[in-house]
């Protein structure tokens, strides 16, 4: 069963949820990137819990990546975008508002001796590309994904992917950097 179906059927509460659903253009997967799904998830989280959502920059056009970020940050306003320095894919990290310090201010796990950690702590920290106003600017590139608009399923992703081709990830990352460097309006 998919994560959305599971969350509808359980009362269990979570401290960490990671999401790596199938590619957005697959039938039914729009629902795993939607505001409604994130709200359902938020209802199953313990206070201070963190959610991690994969953003496949290499297979979604910038409008879709922005729409995923818009839906995610609409539900998890304390969020940031981390870019894996090896494969350049994105991970949105978020939690509900209410903590005394913003997400990403402290990284207690980096103080632990990690078995198998293949990135140094300094590189992990440097790979946070967007947070706060910069993430909000990036999210404005899209319209929040929801159950009614189905924009990932029917928004022309295959056509856009064909047009952008192998440059898809490059275009996405350029827009991330533009949102990062643009001054607040």
Confidence band, pLDDT 50/70/90 cuts, at residue 26: confident
Contacts of 113 (CB under 8 A, 6+ apart): none
Closest CA to 79 of 103, 60, 48, 115: 103
Q: Please, which pLDDT band fits residue 183 given cuts at 50, 70 and 90? A: low
Instruction: Tell me: pLDDT of 30 over 60.
Output: yes
Residue positions counted in the chain: 185
Q: How far is CA 106 from its chain centroid?
A: 19
CATH numbers and ranges of domains, the chain: 3-181 (3.40.50.150)
Distance CA 182, CA 95 (A): 25
Looking at residue 1, what is its pLDDT? 64
Q: Is the pLDDT of residue 23 over 90?
A: no
- Looking at residue 185, what is its pLDDT? 45
pLDDT tier for residue 143 given thresholds of 50, 70 and 90: very high
Tens digit of each residue's pLDDT (9 = 90 or more) over 63-122: 889 999 999 999 999 999 999 999 989 999 999 877 778 888 888 788 877 667 888 889
């Amino acid at each position: 069963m998919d994560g959305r179906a599971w969350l509808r059927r359980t009362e269990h509460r979570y401290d960490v949820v990671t999401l790596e659903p199938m590619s957005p253009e697959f039938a039914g997967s729009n629902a795993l990137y939607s505001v409604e799904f994130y709200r359902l998830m938020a209802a199953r989280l313990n206070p201070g819990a963190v959610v991690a959502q994969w953003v496949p920059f290499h297979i979604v056009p910038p409008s879709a990546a922005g729409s995923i970020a818009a839906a995610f940050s609409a539900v998890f306003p304390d969020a940031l975008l981390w870019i894996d320095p090896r494969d350049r894919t994105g991970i949105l990290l978020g939690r509900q508002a209410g903590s005394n310090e913003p997400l990403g201010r402290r990284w207690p796990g980096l103080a632990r001796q990690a078995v198998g950690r293949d990135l140094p702590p300094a590189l992990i920290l440097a790979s946070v590309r967007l947070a706060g106003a910069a993430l909000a600017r990036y999210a404005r590139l899209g319209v929040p994904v929801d159950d009614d608009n189905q924009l990932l399923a029917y928004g022309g992703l295959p056509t856009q992917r064909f047009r952008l081709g192998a440059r898809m990830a490059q275009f996405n990352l350029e827009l991330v950097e533009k949102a990062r460097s643009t001054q607040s309006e």
